């Protein structure tokens, strides 16, 4: 059965841990995994292709997927906004039927989650959500990898997310965080809190992992003693005209020095970028010693390589093998032709 990664709940707790372990191994051996390499002896021209489709502009997502696919021996086929006919001249279902015959994985950064679900329904190759209006699961794999690196674990830690708690990042933090056994606190103003269905799904998953969920309008309640602080821009694509109004609404949820002081000693700070210093996060925090934002950004590369490789294996499109071991040195007898 083909496996896809459309929401954070598409991985069980054990599977999420497996992917994070793989990401760490890939980070330690960047070029050791050849997921999309062609047949042995066929040369680089025979590398497998991954379609990376963008309905929204991107920096980190584009670079990390393109570089990661190349690291894995593959060919990233970048399709920029306006360059395809998906959803207007050609249905998503028909697009999936065509792409599955030409590429080995489909990565899509889009708007509607329903489009991703339709693509996956009709595709025999893995489909990966590189961001939708509802979820950003690849970002959360990178974030959890970063938490592991700096705290040594995820289970039992408390993560506080502040700001627009109704957006895709808040949804993914809730779902991925509890899957990792974390205590998730999400704080935002009235009218900007996560939907009931997402909260209910997070609480259900938390029952199996020992995590927990707190949704609140109190920034102080969320911040108190937290091990990890996270935020996101207050102004997403298409909301530029609302910047001043949104800044007024979200100002009490900024992560600044005063907010950081109420967290646990040694707390780390995450931001998925792009960041607007002086708005959702202060310059002193994002550029300070407790910020791990640049590690987080780099970890997009390693986490996405891991999920691509894992999905290929789980879908039966790649044998589950470790990186090829280096050839054993020739023996003395071999050297003399014995």
Q: Which residues are catalytic?
A: 109, 136, 139, 232, 272, 300
Give the residue from 135, 134, 147, 149 showing the smallest Cα distance to 180.
147
Beta strand extents in 137-253 (DSSP E only): 158-162, 183-187, 212-216, 228-231
Tokens describing residue 201: 């799904």
Report yes or no: 157 and 150 within 8 Å, Cβ to Cβ.
Answer: no
Distance CA 19, CA 307 (A): 6
Strand duo 228-231 + 212-216: pairing: unpaired
Q: Are 171 and 198 in contact (CB under 8 A)?
A: yes
- In sequence order, what are the residues at sequence separation of 6 or more whose Cβ sits closer than 8 angstroms to the Cβ of residue 60? 273, 297, 300
3-state secondary structure 102-170: CCCEEEEECCCHHHHHHHHHCCCCCEEEEECCCCCHHHHHHHHHHHHHHHCCCCCCEEEEECCCCCHHH
Spatial distance between the Cα atoms of 150 and 162, rounded to a whole number of angstroms: 20
């Amino acid at each position: 059965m083909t496996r896809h990664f459309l929401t954070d709940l598409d991985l069980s707790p054990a599977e999420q841990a497996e992917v994070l372990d793989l990401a760490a191994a890939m980070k330690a051996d960047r070029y050791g995994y050849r997921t999309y390499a062609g047949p042995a002896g066929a040369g680089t021209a025979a590398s497998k292709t991954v379609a990376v489709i963008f309905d929204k502009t991107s920096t980190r997502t584009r670079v990390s997927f393109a570089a990661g696919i190349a690291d894995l021996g593959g060919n990233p086929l970048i399709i920029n906004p306006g360059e395809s006919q998906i959803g207007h001249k050609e249905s998503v279902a028909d697009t999936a039927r065509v792409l599955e015959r030409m590429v080995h994985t489909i990565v899509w950064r889009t708007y509607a989650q329903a489009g991703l679900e339709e693509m996956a329904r009709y595709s025999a190759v893995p489909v990966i959500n590189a961001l939708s209006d509802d979820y950003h699961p690849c970002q959360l794999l990178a974030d959890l990898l970063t938490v592991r690196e700096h705290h040594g674990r995820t289970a039992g830690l408390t993560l506080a997310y502040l700001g627009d708690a109704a957006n895709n990042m808040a949804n993914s933090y809730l779902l991925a965080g509890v899957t990792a056994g974390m205590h998730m606190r999400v704080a935002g103003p009235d009218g900007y809190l996560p939907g009931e269905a997402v909260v209910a799904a997070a609480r259900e998953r938390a029952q199996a992992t020992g995590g927990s969920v707190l949704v609140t309008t109190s920034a102080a309640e969320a911040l108190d003693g937290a091990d990890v602080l996270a935020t996101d821009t207050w102004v997403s694509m298409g909301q530029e005209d609302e910047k001043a109004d949104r800044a007024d609404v979200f100002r009490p949820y900024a992560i600044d020095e005063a907010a950081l002081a109420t967290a646990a000693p040694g707390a780390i700070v995450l931001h998925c970028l792009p960041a607007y210093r002086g708005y959702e996060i202060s310059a002193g925090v994002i550029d300070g010693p407790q910020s791990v934002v640049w590690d987080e950004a780099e970890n997009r590369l390693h986490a996405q390589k891991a999920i691509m490789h894992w999905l290929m294996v789980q879908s039966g499109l790649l044998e589950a093998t470790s990186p090829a071991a280096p050839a054993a040195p020739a023996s003395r007898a071999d050297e003399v032709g014995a």
